[in-house]
Amino acid sequence: MAFYDLTKEERAKKTADIQFELLHALKNKTLEPYEHYFNDEDIYIRKVTYLGVGRIYNAETSLRLPIISFLKKLATHQSELVRQTVVNAAGEIGMFQFEAVQPFFDQALNDSHHKVRNAVIGSLKKMSQKNPKPVLIWAAKYIEHPEKEIRREVCHGIELRGRTHPEDVLPLLAKLQFEETKRVRDTLVHVLGQISYKKDCLPKLISALQQWKDMQLVKDSLLEIIDVHSEKRYAKFTALTQREVVAYISKSFPNKIL
């Protein structure tokens, strides 16, 4: 039975049971429960599992090294679901102790399966928001990587930090302004749009874009920013109306870039 086929009470019990098994397995140096739950076909069971690993790591300092040891053993597992869940669990740990899990992300960036690479993006989002300093230092090493997929992953992964602190990520994103690969370039435009609509973010973003040299990319980004503020996108959540955004952009780019 799938996790969300259970009642609320049954889900709570299942979550507690899984965490108990994970804790018991660590104390008894038994890897099998980790391998079992990390490989579950139900995405929500895997989520309960990696959240549980994060909670145990945070609460049981004596078990931190055993947890890292278990994750190392599973990081090269043949199942992409297991490797994906390793990255998600590492993301939970990296929100407050990134140095302990950095090697997992160095490895996962090059994983052959998109599920694992997408887990890198998801983990980067939450880690860069909660623990930005070491995570962004790490991201800076990869933002101009020769492999286009790695550039895309890192660009997308720092998006969430940009929504609240655009000044932290804009210097990194600027390194991609002459990007030639469409998939990466489209991701960059998407991220710039995403970091434009929260309170006080647009002025910082526009100020940065005024310094960029790739005018076609700037134009594409401005169009995305305007569209993000539309009724069909995020108008209910934006700090400014679309009309106000258009006026601000027109004032900031008097040479009629649009």
The reply to whether 166 and 254 lie within a common domain is yes
Output the six-digit token pair for 127.
């880690």
d(CA 5, CA 212): 51
- The confidence band for 83, taking pLDDT boundaries of 50, 70 and 90, is very high
Q: How far is CA 255 from CA 204, 210, 214, 231, 250, in A?
A: 20, 11, 15, 27, 8
Asked if residue 251 is part of any domain, the answer here is: yes
> 254 and 174: one domain?
yes
Total domains in the chain come to 2
Q: Are residues 13 and 95 in the same domain?
A: yes
Question: What percentage of residues in the chain have a pLDDT greater than 90?
Answer: 95
Regarding whether 102 and 43 lie in a shared domain, the answer is: yes
Q: Residue 215: which pLDDT band, with cuts at 50, 70 and 90?
A: very high
Per the structure, the complete domain to which residue 201 belongs is given by: 159-258
Q: Which of 89, 108, 127 is the last residue of a domain?
A: 108
Give the span between the Cα atoms of 35 and 127, in whole angstroms. Answer: 24
In tens, the pLDDT along 126-172 reads 999 999 999 999 999 999 999 999 999 999 999 999 999 999 999 99
Where does a domain end: 108, 128, 143? Answer: 108
Taking a C-beta distance cutoff of 8 angstroms, is the pair 192, 221 a contact? yes
pTM, full prediction: 0.91
